[in-house]
Amino acid sequence: MFNMAESASESGNIFSHIMSEIIESPLNLALVCLIAFLIYKIVKSRTEVPSFTPPEPTLPKLKKRDFTVEELKKYDGTQEDGRVLVAVNGNVYDVTKGKRFYGPGGPYAAFGGKDASRGLATFSVSVKTEEYDDLSDLNSMEMESVREWEAQFKDKYDLVGKLLKPGEEPTNYSDEEDESSVATTVGGAGERTKED
């Protein structure tokens, strides 16, 4: 015959048996802790409200223009708008979206506002000269490396204009002109060759 009291005490026995099994065996105890931790993580991840970090406002596209080495300098990300420009192979790129690389404190901050060509070609994360660098002493492999780097920059960043040689007049870009007028080849209009 079904006895309620017996059944209750039986289930109580099973429960206390399980509890003593858990407590007495360190392995079981560890497994229970692990399961509890995993359940906690799952519940937490489901209930957590994702934190919202507003995206950095994007700057308006720079009007096409050429830069002297001196003019380029101020675009190292320290200005109020935080814009960063980098020259590679005679062309200037707006690398602001790669600010974490080239902006203040970034691993390649030395390239911000500078001509990075020589550094990129010689695996040096620094720019040694404050003057215009004609790269004429780089060998053909190094120049090839400069061009490959430039292709990457061209792929990822906006081209702004040319890096001017000393005494070179800036190009007068009209509003209608498209980017191809600045850089027609991978090397670009500002490309420097050994013959330059």
Question: Which residues in this chain contact ligand HEM in the complex, by CB under 6 A?
Answer: 98, 101, 108, 119-120, 123-125, 156
Residue of closest CB approach to ligand HEM: 98
Half-sphere exposure of 85 (CA within 13 A, CB side): 29
Q: Containing H/E element for 146?
A: helix 140-156
Cα three-residue angle 165-169-138, rounded to 5 degrees: 15
- Is the Cβ–Cβ distance between 178 and 159 less than 8 Å? no
CB of 52 to ligand HEM, least distance (A): 23
Sign of the torsion angle spanned by Cα atoms 50, 54, 55, 56: negative
CB contact set of 166 (below 8 Å; sequence gap of 6+): 68, 132
Q: Containing H/E element for 73?
A: helix 69-73
CB of 77 to ligand HEM, least distance (A): 13
* Tokens, residue 41: 């993580």
Nearer residue to ligand HEM within complex by CB, 101 or 132: 101
CB of 111 to ligand HEM, least distance (A): 7
Half-sphere exposure of 103 (CA within 13 A, CB side): 14
Nearer residue to ligand HEM within complex by CB, 101 or 173: 101
Nearer residue to ligand HEM within complex by CB, 22 or 62: 62
CB of 124 to ligand HEM, least distance (A): 6
* Tokens, residue 186: 């991978």
CB of 93 to ligand HEM, least distance (A): 9
Nearer residue to ligand HEM within complex by CB, 145 or 171: 145
Nearer residue to ligand HEM within complex by CB, 128 or 156: 156
- Is the Cβ–Cβ distance between 119 and 127 less than 8 Å? yes
CB of 189 to ligand HEM, least distance (A): 22
Nearer residue to ligand HEM within complex by CB, 38 or 125: 125
